[in-house]
Amino acid sequence: MAEKENRKTEYELTGTFSATSKGFGFFTPETEEAEEAPADVFIPAKYRKNAFDGDTVVVKVYKPATKTARAEGEVVRILKRGTTDIIGVFKAAKDKSGMVVPDDRKIEALFNIQREHTKGAKDGQKVVMHITDYGGDKRPKGRVSEILGDADDPKTDFKTVLRMYDIMPQFTMEVANEAEAIPDKISEKDINGRLDLRNETIVTIDGADAKDLDDAVAVKRIDGGYELSVHIADVSHYVTEGSALDESALKRGTSVYLINKVVPMLPQRLSNGICSLNAGQDRLALSCIMETDENGRIRGHRIAETVINVTRRMNYDEVAEILKDPDGKRAEYGGLTDMFLLMKELSDKLRANRRSRGALDFNFEECKIKLDENDAPVDIFPDERNDASKLIEDFMLAANETVAEDYYWQDLPFLFRTHEAPDEDKINKLSMFVKNFGYVIKGNKENVHPKELQKLLDSITGTDEEPLISRLTLRSMRQARYTTEALGHFGLSAQYYCHFTSPIRRYPDLQIHRIIKENLHGTLDESRKNHYNTILGEVAAETSRLERRAENAERDLEKWKHAEYMEKRIGEVYEGVISGLSARGIYVELPNTVEGVVTMGNLKDDFYVFDAEHFLIAGEKKHKTYSLGQKLFVEVIDVDKTEKETLFTIIGEKRYRAALEKQTAETAAR
C-alpha cells in the first residue's frame, strides 16, 4: 500500500513546458498520458532546468493536485527544444561581438553573440537569432540569421510580426511562374457551358482601397418577393488541386491584413487580376441565386457556374450616400439608385429574420489606425459600419447559409463553419459585468441562448457603454472554426453555415468551391468522395490554425501601433472606462479604443487587492472599490513597447479638467 501511495505522489510524465515572464512555468502532459495525469503542473522557477517555452520535457511530479491547488513538479529531462529561433534587440560590444535581448519576456536569458556570428548587426537593431547553445550554467549563445531593421523604426514592426508568426510575404518562383502562366483574359472555352449573365446589372461594393474583389451582387423584384444573386470569383477554375498555387494557398490558409498592407493568399496576378471581379471585364464566377418571399425568407435557390461582367464598382461610402439621399444621387448613378434602395429593403428583412431567431448583431466600432508614409501611427479612432457594409454582410451571410444547408442535406463531404456555445464561466463573468450597468442576462448560464445575448445588445444601443459591452460580449464567445460536420453557428443562431464567399482570401472557400463544381459536373463519384473525406479533416484543422495565426499577427501589430501612438502622448489625460480587472491591476479603455493598465503599484492611496469572487478591486483601509464599467480619469505615464502596453495612473476630475484644457489649447496652437 505504501508503495502505491508513493507512486501517486512522485512519478514522471512527458509533455510540453510553457514558460511565463515571471520565471516559473506550467507543464501540460501528452494526450495519451492526460487521462490519469493532472491537467497541468506548476513548475517553480528553480525547478525548470533551463527549459524554454514550448520544449518537450519529462517532469517529475512531486506534489499531487488538490481541490484548491495545482500539482507541482520539476523538469528532469529536456527531450526536444520547441524554441530554436528568437527575435530580439542586438546590443553591440566594443569588440564587435554582442548579445541579443529577446522580445519575448518568457525568455529571461540574454544570448551571447560572437563577433563572427553578428552578421554585421548594429547596436539597437531588431534581429532574428538562431540558438546554438542553450546554456545551462553559462549564458546561452546564438548567431544572427536575419536583420529586421532598427528597433525604433515603425517599418520594422511589420517585418517583426511577419517573422514572429512565420508568415512569408514572398511567393516561391514555382508559384509565381504558375500564376504568370495563367491568361489575363477569359476565353470562349472558359465560358462554354456556363450561365451567361454578362448583360445583367451587377455591382461590387467594397472598401475604397480594396483590390481583391471576390464578390458581386444584384437584387431584382420578382413576383411575390426578391431575387438575390451573389456572384463569387471562380478561383478554383485557375487554382487547381495539387498545383503549386494550391499547395501554397493551403500553407497560407488566409490573406493577412496588417493595417495598410496585405500578405495575400494568392499572387496579386490572380487576386487583383483575373480572379478579381473588376468592372467592365468578363469574369468567371460561382453564383448562388436565391429567391425570397415578400418577408425576405429564402424559398428557393440555384448554384451555378456563370460568366459575369460587373456593371460598376462601388465603395461603401458611395452606396451609403445614395441610401441617405437617393434623389440627389440619381443623376450620377442613374438606374443603379433603385437597385440600391431595393438592396436596402431586402437587407433590412434578412437582418430582421436573423434577429428574430436570435442571431447576434454586434454594432460596435472597429479600431481604425492611420499611418503616415513611414508607417508611424498618426491617429487611432473608432470606425463604424455604415448601411452599405451591412448590405454586403447580409447578402454574404444569406449565401453562406444557403450553400451550407444545401450541401448538408445532400450528405456530401464538406467544410462547415462552426461556432459553439460560449463557455459557462465567461457568460457568468459577462453577466456579473453588465449588472454594474443595470442589465441582466436571464436564463440558464450553462446553456444560454443567443436570443438572450441579443436582447442585451438591443438594450445597450445608443448608450455610452455600448462599445465596451459589445466588445466584452464578443470576447465571451468561443472562437469559430472549420469542421467537417455541421455543428451549428451560435452567433448566427444558424444550424448550417459555411464560408463560400471569399475564395481569393480564404482557403476553406476555395476548397468547397471544388466540391460544389464537381457536384455540378456530376464527377463527384465515390472515389472523389473518399478523397475529400480523407483530406477535409486535416484541411479544417490546419485552416483553423492558420486563421488564428493571422488574427494574432494582426492583433499584435495593432497593439504595437497603439503603444507607438501613446508613447508620444505620455503626460496626456483621458477619460476612460474600466474594461478589465486582475491581480495585476485595472485595465482602462479609452474612447479611441486604446486599452492600458493601472498597475496595483500605481494605486498609491491604499493597499488594494483583487476580489475575484465579486470581480472588483478593493482598498483594505479606505474600502474604495473599482469595478468593471466604472469611468475613470487617467494620465499616460509610460509605454512598454516590447509588451505593447500603455501604463496609466488615476487622477482626480479637477486635475483632469485643468490638464485637458491645457492639452486642448496646445493642440489647437499646433
Q: What is the residue-wise DSSP string for 372-389?
A: -TTS-EEEEEEE---HHH
Residue 545: its H or E element: helix 526-567
DSSP-derived secondary structure for 415-443? -EEEBPPPPHHHHHHHHHHHHTTT----S
Confidence of residue 3 (pLDDT cuts 50, 70, 90): very low
In this prediction, residue 150 carries a pLDDT of 95
The 3-class SS string of 40-93 reads CEEECHHHCCCCCCCCEEEEEEEECCCCCCCEEEEEEEEEECCCCEEEEEEEEC
Q: What is the CATH number of the domain that holds 642?
A: 2.40.50.140
* ∠ Cα 228 233 239 (to 5°): 150
Q: In 446-506, which ranges are continuous DSSP H helix? A: 450-459, 466-475
Q: 648 and 540, same structural domain?
A: no
Q: 583 and 598, same structural domain?
A: yes
Q: 238 and 147, same structural domain?
A: no
Task: Reduce the DSSP state of residue 626 to 3 states and report it.
Answer: strand
465, 434 contact by CB (below 8 A) = no
In this prediction, residue 4 carries a pLDDT of 40
Question: pLDDT tens digit string along 55-76?
Answer: 999 999 998 888 778 889 999 9
Rg (the chain; Cα; Å): 28
Q: Does residue 398 lie within any of the structural domains? A: yes
C-alpha dihedral, 529 to 530 to 535 to 536, nearest 10°: 40
Q: Which three cell numbers stand for residue 376?
A: 508611424
Q: 411 and 282, same structural domain?
A: yes
**Residue with grid cell 469542421, as numbered in its chain:** 483
Q: Which residue has the higher pLDDT, 665 or 148?
A: 148
Q: 191 and 134, same structural domain?
A: no
Q: 411 and 316, same structural domain?
A: yes
- How many CB atoms lie under 10 A from the CB of residue 624? 13
Which residues pair with residue 41 across a beta bridge? 27, 71
556, 161 contact by CB (below 8 A) = yes
Q: Does residue 224 lie within any of the structural domains? A: yes
Domain span including residue 335: 173-420+478-558
Q: CA-to-CA distance for 231 and 226, rounded, in angstroms?
A: 16
Select, from the ranges 46-50, 305-309, 470-474, 580-584, the one with the highest average predicted confidence (pLDDT). Answer: 305-309
Q: Does residue 272 lie within any of the structural domains? A: yes
- For residue 326, give the nearest of 348, 342, 310, 312 by alpha carbon: 342
Q: How many domains does the chain have?
A: 4
Q: Which three cell numbers stand for residue 530?
A: 473518399
Q: CA-to-CA distance for 27 and 654, rounded, in angstroms?
A: 49
Question: pLDDT tens digit string along 193-214?
Answer: 999 999 999 999 998 888 889 9
Query: Is pLDDT at 236 greater than 90 in this prediction?
Result: yes
Question: pLDDT tens digit string along 356-374?
Answer: 988 887 766 678 899 999 9
C-alpha dihedral, 190 to 196 to 200 to 206, nearest 10°: -30
Q: 9 and 63, same structural domain?
A: yes
Domain termination residue (choose one: 55, 80, 105): 80
513, 522 contact by CB (below 8 A) = no
Query: Is pLDDT at 93 greater than 60 in this prediction?
Result: yes
Confidence of residue 30 (pLDDT cuts 50, 70, 90): confident
Which residues pair with residue 57 across a beta bridge? 15, 78
**Residue with grid cell 450541401, as numbered in its chain:** 407
Q: 22 and 93, same structural domain?
A: no
Q: 343 and 226, same structural domain?
A: yes
Residue 336, CA distances (Å) to 219, 417, 462 in order: 10, 33, 32
Q: Which 8-state DSSP code applies to residue 659?
A: H
Full-model pTM: 0.88
Q: CA-to-CA distance for 585 and 7, rounded, in angstroms?
A: 41
Q: 646 and 511, same structural domain?
A: no
Q: 56 and 15, same structural domain?
A: yes
